[in-house]
Amino acid sequence: MNEISITQILFVSTALFFIGMYGLFTRRNMITMLMAIELILNSVNINFVAFNKYLYPDKLDGVFFAIFVITIAAAEAALAIAIIINLYRSHQSIDVEDANELKY
Amino acid sequence: MSHYSYIVFIPLFPLFSFLILGLFGRKYIKIYSGTIGVVSLLISALLSVYTAYQYFFIFGKANGVFQHIIAVKYVWLQFSPGVSIDMGILLDPISVMMIVIVSFISLMVHIFSLGYMRGEERFATYYAFLSLFTFSMLGLVLSSNIFQIYMFWELVGISSFLLIGYFFESPSAVAASKKAFIVTRFADLGFLIGILILAFYSRTLDFGSLIEKFTSVQSPEFIQITSATFLGVSMLTWGLVLVFIGGAGKSAMFPLHIWLPDAMEGPTPVSALIHAATMVVAGVFLVARLFPVFSIDLTALQIVAWVGSFSALFAAVIACTQTDIKRVLAFSTISQIGFMMFSLGVSKYGGENGLGFTGSMFHLFTHAFFKSLLFLGAGAVIHFAHSNEIKDLGGLRKLMPVTHICFLIACLAISGIPPFSGFFSKEDILLAAFHSNKLIYGIALLTSALTAFYMFRLYYSIFWNKKISIHETPHGEATVSMKLPLIILSACTVLAGFAPISSWVTSDGAPLKSHLDISFSALPVLMGATGIFLATYLYKTQNSRPQTIASVLGSLYRGTYKKFYIDEVYLFITKKIIFNGIGRPAAWIDKNIVDGFMNLLANTTAKISALIKGIQSGKVQNYTLYFFGGIVGLALLFIYVFK
């Protein structure tokens, strides 16, 4: 069985990052945008784990960082959903285009 | 000198009273505001009298000469070592005399106002302003340096403005207060430039060292200021004349006198305090304060003498034709201040030659009493009859016996009839003028006769002449609080002439012996008596003689009645020449060029911001795009540029 090289893993994580970015820019629904942000975070996680595995196999720092990011992501999701609920209460919508009062 | 340090409380008590009444008077302590004002002034007056006692009888003299004592000194603004503006208290015979006059007359006016102003809506405000004025005036006369005197000078100006405009519902009072403020401010411009010139050459603001430097002929400062010239006149003369312009504005000397008659729009007790007894003599005080320097510069002294004597005669002539009793008194004030001014102008420094200086200060002293008495008497008449036009008044001597007697005493005093106070002070002035300048002496004699004439014209028109029907007023002649100051001031008017001012207040501090010479006094008294006799003949009973004389004089009478059209000349100069020649072009430049430039800046900014404001769209995804765009940009920058 061939070893999976780091280039392939980085390719996956980069693809995941840009998919998330695309979703963040194009979707108007805030829940979908939240999901896109999760994709971006997970692509970072893959990088952490991959670099840990291939560059410093005897250390665990990258893995811990990945776990740390997952925790933060959970907290961030809770916050984001609270914001979304509040937005829905005030605007009867979760479309970001409807909440554009804060401008010039 | 530690036994004088309590003097700071003389001006501070009125200041406290002003602060308390100004902050809390209208809402909380309205009914007590009169009492607070009177009590604080009473303390000040007692302290002033005690100071005078201490100064003149116990500590003031050294080697038979009254000393200049710096009682309190405090560095207020330190610019650099050696250059500072101080706050201090200077005691010398004139400042001690002035604090007694100011606090005493102010106390009388405070008491009188208890009755006169009763029931006014802004009673507490009135007392607050009155206290502010008293504080400023006391600070002015006690000032130890020329910059401090300038600050208090402006403070008395503002309190005079506030009090003239006290009845601010009446447009004429507002106009009068503005006029007074603008005219005196205009004169103060001269004062300020004068201060700057004197301070620049002497490198000091302190009166003591300034006088010392400019009176010793060898000092480098003196040589420098006299050798520097501008338009062919030495800078010393310029400085002194400019300072005198400030004094002439405050003291209503011709041609800056136009504000004083209009200032009579204020409440009558205010006229008695500010526009008769105290503030208007500030100009005289200023010249007296700098007198050692003035006495060196003969040109400046000549200007003082001629402006003073011309104003004395000019105002006396106008006073003969005015029909408003307060305006007659206002012109009489101008005339009497003219006396004080030219008396300083004909005086010299030191010894027997300083008689004019002593006479001027003596007249200031006696004038304060009889002129405030006249104004307070006029106030009582106005309070009783509700009119200040001569045609509405007459035959009041039975209805107002106390006021009548007091007014008569004051009229006799101002006419220079012995043994009333005005006689003694006028004697000194006339004697000084006689020895120095015969023409001024002649003007002064003529003015004395005119003074007696217009004062008795006023007296007869109010208290004799026709009978007027006055509907019964509930308060009778006047309240006790109004009669009491009248009686006290009458007593002072009778007795003030016997005060040995000539042994206290002299140009160099050394006592001067009194000069009463019967043969010299005969002529002025005769002139005064002639004036009184003429007024009796014309005005004691109602007759047609005054009208006949007026119609014979024709346009001369009308010109005098219109105050020689000085006001109209000023209006012409300001409205037609200054407004059209300077005001309108300046307004055009302001509107089109200055504002235009500012509008250009504002419009350009507005256009640019309209162009770029689309960036702040309020859409979250745009911001995300900028954010990532920024990251990409920075990444490219660090990868390719700053490798």
**Is residue A1 assigned to a domain?**
no
Question: With contact defined as beta carbons under 8 Å apart, do B51 and B96 qualify?
Answer: yes
CATH number for position A48: 1.10.287.3510
Judge residue A82's burial from the number of C-beta atoms within 10 Å of its C-beta, 0-12 exposed, 13-18 middle, 19 or more buried: exposed
Q: Does B628 touch chain A (CB under 8 A)?
A: yes
**Is residue A10 assigned to a domain?**
yes
The residue segments making up the domain with residue A83 are 6-99
Written as six digits, the tokens of B9 are 């409380």
Distance CA B422, CA A98 (A): 92
**Is residue A47 assigned to a domain?**
yes
Task: Give the pLDDT confidence score for residue B273 in this predicted structure.
Answer: 87
Taking CA–CA distances from B626, the nearest residue in chain A reads A25
Radius of gyration, alpha carbons of chain A: 17
**Is residue A104 assigned to a domain?**
no
Q: Does B231 touch chain A (CB under 8 A)?
A: no
A21, A25, A100 member nearest B617 (Cβ): A100
Distance CA B140, CA B85 (A): 15
Give the residues across from B66 on adjacent strands: B61
pLDDT digits (tens, 9 = 90+) for A29-84: 999 999 999 999 999 999 999 999 998 889 999 999 999 999 999 999 999 999 99
User: A31, A33, A34, A104: which to substitute to probe chain B, counting the most B Cβ within 10 Å?
Assistant: A104
Written as six digits, the tokens of B443 are 């003007």
DSSP secondary structure, B344-365, as one string: HHH--SSGGGGHHHHHHHHHHH
CB contact under 8 A, A100 and B618: yes
User: B612, B623, B624: which to substitute to probe chain A, counting the most A Cβ within 10 Å?
Assistant: B624
Q: 3-state SS of B261-312?
A: HHHHHCCHHHHHHHHHHCHHHHHHHHHHHCHHHHCCCHHHHHHHHHHHHHHH
Question: With contact defined as beta carbons under 8 Å apart, do B331 and B261 qualify?
Answer: yes
Q: Which residues of A touch B621 (CB under 8 A)?
A: 24-25, 96
**Is residue A14 assigned to a domain?**
yes
Q: Which residues of B touch A96 (CB under 8 A)?
A: 619-621
Task: Give the pLDDT confidence score for residue B386 in this predicted structure.
Answer: 80
A25, A97, A100 member nearest B624 (Cβ): A25
Judge residue A80's burial from the number of C-beta atoms within 10 Å of its C-beta, 0-12 exposed, 13-18 middle, 19 or more buried: middle
Judge residue B216's burial from the number of C-beta atoms within 10 Å of its C-beta, 0-12 exposed, 13-18 middle, 19 or more buried: exposed
Closest CA of chain B from A98, distance in Å: 9
Tell me which residues of chain B have a pLDDT lower than 50: 1
Written as six digits, the tokens of A8 are 């392939």
Closest CA of chain B from A96, distance in Å: 7
Task: Give the pLDDT confidence score for residue B514 in this predicted structure.
Answer: 63
Q: Is the dihedral of CA B142, B144, B145, B148 positive or negative?
A: negative
If you count residue pairs, one on A and one on B, with CB atoms under 8 Å apart, how many are there?
25
What is the predicted ipTM?
A: 0.85
Task: Give the pLDDT confidence score for residue B1 in this predicted structure.
Answer: 47
Helix (H, G, I), strand (E, B) or coil at A85: helix
Q: Does B624 touch chain A (CB under 8 A)?
A: yes
Among left, alpha and beta (phi > 0; psi -120 to 50; other), residue B444 is alpha
CB contact under 8 A, A103 and B625: no
**Is residue A83 assigned to a domain?**
yes
The b/e string for A24-53 (b: 16+ C-beta within 10 A; e otherwise) is: beebeebeebbebbbbbbbbbbbbbbbbbe
Q: Does B170 touch chain A (CB under 8 A)?
A: no
Judge residue A56's burial from the number of C-beta atoms within 10 Å of its C-beta, 0-12 exposed, 13-18 middle, 19 or more buried: exposed
Question: With contact defined as beta carbons under 8 Å apart, do A23 and A35 qualify?
Answer: yes
Q: Which residues of B touch A100 (CB under 8 A)?
A: 617-619
Model pTM? Answer: 0.77
Q: How many domains in chain A?
A: 1
> What are φ and ψ of residue B612, in 5° steps?
-100, 5
Q: Which of B332, B335, B339 is nearest to B356 (CA)?
A: B339
> Quick one: angle between helices B480-495 and B421-436, nearest 10?
40
**Is residue A29 assigned to a domain?**
yes
